[in-house]
């Protein structure tokens, strides 16, 4: 017997649009594995689902002890877990999860890396899943770039994303009127943190900033002025973490929220 099931929404994206072309991306290893391992240790069963049912690609930038406090052993355990644990390999499609029924899940978790900016942000099934968890007030946790997936909960998410890329802020605001997370306090990878990635990893600029996107949608975005410092914001059922260093904090907050919900 477990305490319940937690649905993990993964991404299948491996490239993101940047100004002048594309950059190779994926899902971050620590942002996926640290919360998942904590959930399993706390007694929860994990179901991993992605838009097409394929296992997410790990961003090579994240496959480093640096993201595990420079603990080589912790990094190796995380990599082994992601490669071989059944919870990370029995991947379903988002459509299949919806067909099987969302009431079976106690909570939802969306890890980051830049990948959610590409597919989850505008995926209709992801939007249906988010709206279900919102209506049911079930714990919903998203980490780093993961919170951008919240955009999928609006009816015209693909058009909203296209307006952001086109620099049409007024048009994007008009498309966001039905967003269920309007007024929620939340955090996401900051503009200054993104600038570091743009300069040192992508060598190119993104088309829009993550806090800007959530703010245009109607969120009350709060970021820490200290780049890459752990930062977690909780508002009602929503739990968001700002950056890779917020992995343990998001895991703790989600487990505590699940405990309160099941009390």
Q: What does the pLDDT read at residue 263?
A: 78
For the cut 90, the answer to whether the pLDDT of residue 258 exceeds it is yes
User: For 57-100, what is each residue's pLDDT tens digit?
Assistant: 999 999 999 999 999 999 999 999 999 999 999 999 999 999 99
3-state secondary structure of 239: strand
pTM of the model: 0.98
Q: What does the pLDDT read at residue 41?
A: 98
Nearest to 131 by CA among 159, 173, 102: 102
3-state secondary structure of 190: coil
How many Å apart are CA 52 and CA 49, to the nearest integer? 8
User: For 129-145, what is each residue's pLDDT tens digit?
Assistant: 999 999 999 999 999 99
Domains of the chain: 4-262 (3.40.50.880)
How many Å apart are CA 57 and CA 216, to the nearest integer? 29
Structural contact between residues 31 and 144, judged by C-beta atoms closer than 8 angstroms: yes
- According to DSSP, the β-strands at 232-235 and 238-241 are antiparallel
User: For 19-31, what is each residue's pLDDT tens digit?
Assistant: 999 999 999 999 9
Nearest to 258 by CA among 108, 146, 102: 108
User: For 159-200, what is each residue's pLDDT tens digit?
Assistant: 999 999 999 999 999 999 899 999 999 999 999 999 999 999
């Amino acid at each position: 017997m477990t305490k319940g099931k937690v649905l993990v929404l993964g991404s299948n994206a491996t490239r993101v649009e940047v100004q002048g072309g594309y950059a190779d991306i994926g899902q971050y290893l620590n942002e996926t594995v640290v919360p998942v391992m904590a959930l399993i240790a706390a007694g929860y069963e994990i179901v991993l689902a992605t838009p097409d049912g394929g296992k997410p690609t790990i961003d090579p930038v994240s496959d480093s002890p640096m993201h595990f406090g420079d603990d080589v052993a912790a990094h190796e355990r995380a990599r082994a877990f992601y490669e071989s644990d059944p919870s990370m390999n029995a991947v379903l499609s988002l459509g299949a999860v919806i067909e099987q029924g969302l009431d079976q899940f106690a909570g939802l978790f969306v890890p980051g890396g830049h990948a959610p900016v590409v597919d989850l942000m505008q995926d209709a099934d992801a939007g249906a899943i988010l709206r279900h968890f919102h209506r049911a007030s079930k714990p919903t946790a998203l980490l780093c770039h993961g919170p951008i997936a919240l955009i999928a909960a609006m009816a015209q998410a693909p058009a909203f994303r296209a307006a952001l890329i086109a620099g049409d802020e007024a048009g994007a605001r008009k498309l966001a009127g039905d967003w269920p997370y309007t007024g929620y306090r939340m955090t996401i990878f900051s503009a200054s943190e993104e600038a570091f990635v743009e300069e040192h990893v992508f060598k190119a600029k993104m088309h829009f900033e993550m806090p800007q996107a959530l703010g245009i949608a109607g969120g009350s975005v709060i970021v820490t002025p200290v780049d890459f410092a752990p930062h977690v914001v909780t508002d009602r059922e929503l739990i968001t973490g700002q950056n890779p260093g917020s992995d343990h904090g998001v895991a703790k907050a989600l487990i505590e929220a699940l405990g309160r919900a099941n009390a």
